[in-house]
Amino acid sequence: MSTDPNTYQPDWQPRGAGSKYAGFVMRGVGDTGAPTAANAQPARRNLSIDDYAQGILSGDRMILSRAITLIESNAPKHFDQAQALIQKLLPYTGKSMRVGITGVPGAGKSTFIEAMGTWLCNNGHRVAVLAVDPSSSVTKGSILGDKTRMEKLSRDKRAFIRPSPSGGTLGGVTRKSRETLLLVEAAGYDVVLVETVGVGQSETTVRNMVDYFLMVALTGAGDDLQGIKKGIMELADSILVNKADGDNKVRAQSARADFDMMLHYLRPATEGWASRAYTCSSLTGEGIPEMWGVVEDFFKTVRGNGVFERRRREQVLRWVNDMAEEHLHRLIDENATIAAAKSRIEADVADGRVPPTQAAKEIIDVMERELFHAGA
C-alpha cells in the first residue's frame, strides 16, 4: 500500500479509481503510519497471524506497525499472538546489521541518524530506526526515535522509524525492543539503528542487543573527556565526534585525538577489533560515508573471526536468562506472604535478634514454600 501522502488512498476507495474519487488522506508530517493514541483506528479489521506474517514479509509498513503495537501491548491475549507471530517469522530474522547508537542528549544522535539513514537509503539499504528509552514511561514522552526530529528520514519509504515503547520497566522496554528488531528484520530492513541514551542500564541493554555500538560524543568546553564514563567507552566499538564543522572543526579534531588515546588504553569492546575515534558533521554530511566504511570494516572483521556468530548466540541466550530471572523477581515481588515475611525478618535482623545468614535462610524458606510448593 502506498504511504506517499500525495497518492495514498483510503481503504474504502476502489483500487485504480481515478479522479472520480477525489478522496485522499492527508498525513501528518513525518507520519509513517504507526498507530498512536491520537490516530488509532479501533474499527480496523482483525488480522490473523498469517495476515500479519504475510504483510510483514511483503514489506507492508502499516501491517508492520500494527504488529509492533501487538508486541507492545500488555494484554495477555496480544502477548500470545505476538509470540506466535515471532515464531513464524523467526526463519526470516537475524539478517540485518544491528547498530547501536548512544550519546548524551544534544550530542546530535537524531541529526546523525537522519544523515546516516538518508545516506544509507541512497546507497541501496533499507533502514529501520528503533529506540530504547526506559525513561519514556516516566516522562510520558520519548526523547528518542522522535520522528519530528528526523523529518526527512521519516518521509523516506526506504526507512522505518519507531519510537521507544513505554514498557514501564527496563525489562519490559527491552523485550519489546528486541522483538521489534526481529520484526523489522523479517520486513527486510537490512540496517537497524537502535538509539539509546545513558539512562541507568539502557546502554548495556542496547550493547547486548546489537553487533556494533557507536558512541556519539559531544565537543564543547575543555572538560569533554571527563564527562564520559570510562565504562561507556569500554562498550563502544567506535567513538564519533560529531559537529566537526565551522568553528568547531579544530576542536572536534583535537577531541578525536584525545579519545583515540584513551581508547588505546582501554579494553576493546569487541575481540579482534580496535575501537577508534572519528569525526563527522551530521549537518554538512562530511565524514558520514567514511563512518559507514568503518562500520562495514567492523562487520567484515567480526564475520571473519567468528566473533559475530558467537556474540549473537551469547546475546540470545542472555536474553532468555534475563527474561526468566525477571519473571522470578516479579513472582517474588508480587507475593504478599513473602513481602510480609521479609519485613518481619528484616526487622529482627535490624534489631539484632537474628543473625543475617539465619534471616536469609528464613526468607528463602518462605520463598520456596510460596513459589515452588504452592498448593502442595
Q: Which residues bind ligand GDP (CB under 6 A)?
A: 103, 105-111, 149, 242-243, 245, 281-283
How far apart CA 11 and CA 40 sit, in angstroms, is 15
How far apart CA 193 and CA 178 sit, in angstroms, is 12
Coil, helix or strand for 51? helix
- Select 232 or 363, whichever has its Cβ closest to ligand GDP: 232
Please report how close the Cβ of residue 11 comes to ligand GDP at its closest, in angstroms: 35
Query: 194 - beta bridge partners?
Result: 100, 130
What is the b/e burial string over 238-269, where b = at least 16 CB atoms within 10 angstroms of the residue's CB?
bbbbbbbbeebeebbeebbebbbeebeeeeeb
Please report how close the Cβ of residue 375 comes to ligand GDP at its closest, in angstroms: 51
- Select 114 or 211, whichever has its Cβ closest to ligand GDP: 114
Q: Hey, what amino acid is at 63?
A: I
Please report how close the Cβ of residue 113 comes to ligand GDP at its closest, in angstroms: 8
Q: Which residue is nearest to ligand GDP (CB)?
A: 108
Please report how close the Cβ of residue 162 comes to ligand GDP at its closest, in angstroms: 16
Please report how close the Cβ of residue 112 comes to ligand GDP at its closest, in angstroms: 6
How far apart CA 215 and CA 280 sit, in angstroms, is 13
Cα–Cα distance list, 238 to 95, 99, 212, 241 (Å):
22, 11, 8, 10
Helix (H), strand (E), coil (C) string for 222-241? CCCHHHCCHHHHCCCCEEEE
The kind and range of the H/E element at 64 are: helix 61-72
Please report how close the Cβ of residue 29 comes to ligand GDP at its closest, in angstroms: 17
